Amino acid sequence: MDQFNEVTLNQYRRKVSPNSRRGLFVCPNSCSRNHYNLLLRNPILPECLSISCSVCEQKWYVCINCRSQLKHITNHLQYKRHANICRENYVFPAQQHKSQNQNLIKTIEQLADYAKNPQPTTVLVFNYKYKTLDKRKALYKSLSKSAVVFDSKKIYEDKVPAWIQNYLQSKQITITPKAALMLSEFLGNDLSKIANELNKLEIVVGADKQVTPEIIEENIGISKDFNNFELQKAIGNLDHKKAYQIVNYFAQNQKQHPFVLTISILYMYFTKLMTLHTVRDKNPTSVSKALGVNPYFVNDYIAVSKNFPMKRISGVLETLRIYDAKSKGVGANLSPKDLYNELIYNILK
């Protein structure tokens, strides 16, 4: 078996993305400097790549664990035999990560003795990711007495727009409420990912010092006219034409606009409308606090609530539940376009 050299490995890492099905690779045979078609990990053999030379059409597997080109292997059964041998000598990346987490869980309590009597001249930070310390055990109790224990919980999605505004404000940059909501919807609640995009926007806005939907559309690729925010606005205003235009765009761009995400956003939207009907004090501050939305959007919610009384909202929530199940193949086998069109029809009828 031929081992990849470092140059080849680095070229592989640079030029083949995890979602790509094609890439460049140096041919180890007489076809050197020619292209290869890389068929990346398949669900049957996730630890291998299948390589096919575009010149000589020779095919073989590559073990991503031991980084060997298995030119003598021609079928899955032979590769499985290699994988069994490989596992005895190597730890696969996913297994290694899991193993490290499990070992840390078992051994972290050994730090309890140090936590009881820490060095006064030492600044020591434990970054315990993805888990929380057991408050019943000695380590947590010792740290609580002699140090600071900070539990950083994942931010709720409805708090992300405010976090974006505060982050940019610290850089003397403002952002419109709609632009903040667009970013929140597109990027989720991964703060490191959001901060990375905001840092890019900081370079773009320059002297303007304000982030608008137009700037986001131009630089991040989020459409300011075809997104879930505009969809819920069109539905709330009973704008049939606009709503169908947006969902048809979603059906053509399923990767950016998965059906399950649209369903969850609409569910949260109509849940807030239902909550609005139970709020007696229609003061913008009270409504904003009750719904957990920016005061900028309060008047929009109040206007939409006139189009959707509580009984109609109950029907919409049931419709969303039904089409969430249909999207998962329960009782129907519809295309994304049909799912979207039927959903909008049943909401607005």
* Spatial CA neighbour of 4 closest among 23, 26, 22: 26
Question: What backbone torsions phi and psi does residue 134 show, to the nearest 5 degrees?
Answer: -75, 115
> Would the pLDDT of 97 be above 60?
no
pLDDT of residue 202: 84
> Would the pLDDT of 240 be above 60?
yes
Q: Work out the pLDDT band at 25, boundaries 50, 70, 90.
A: very low
pLDDT tens digit sequence for 133-175: 888 888 888 888 888 888 888 888 878 888 999 999 888 889 9
> Would the pLDDT of 302 be above 80?
yes
Beta strands in the chain (DSSP E): 2-3, 36-39, 48-53, 59-63, 68-70, 174-175, 210-211
> Would the pLDDT of 32 be above 80?
no
Neighbours of 338 (CB within 10 A): 13
> Would the pLDDT of 23 be above 60?
no
> Would the pLDDT of 65 be above 90?
no
Better pLDDT: 320 or 2: 320
pLDDT of residue 40: 46
Better pLDDT: 235 or 76: 235
pLDDT over 90 percentage in the chain: 20
pLDDT over 70 percentage in the chain: 69
At how many degrees (to 10) do helices 240-252 and 259-278 cross?
A: 150
Fold of 157-219: Helicase, Ruva Protein; domain 3 (1.10.8)
Token couple for 164: 């974006």
Q: Work out the pLDDT band at 317, boundaries 50, 70, 90.
A: very high
Domain residue limits, the chain: 2-89, 95-146, 157-219, 228-348
Rounded average pLDDT over 304-327: 92
Q: Which residues of 136-150 are buried (b: 16+ CB within 10 A; e: fewer)?
A: eeebbbbbeeeeeee
pLDDT of residue 273: 94
pLDDT of residue 43: 47
> What mean pLDDT is reported for the chain?
77
Q: Find out whether 96 and 127 touch, Cβ atoms under 8 Å.
A: no
Better pLDDT: 64 or 163: 163
Three-state DSSP class for residue 36: strand
Fold of 228-348: Zinc Finger, Delta Prime; domain 3 (1.20.272)
pTM of the model: 0.56
Q: Work out the pLDDT band at 295, boundaries 50, 70, 90.
A: confident
pLDDT of residue 267: 93
Q: Work out the pLDDT band at 55, boundaries 50, 70, 90.
A: low
pLDDT tens digit sequence for 205-228: 876 688 888 888 887 777 888 888
**57-71, 205-219, 302-316, range with the lowest pLDDT:** 57-71
Instruction: Give the whole-angstrom CA distance, residue 158 versus residue 291.
Output: 10
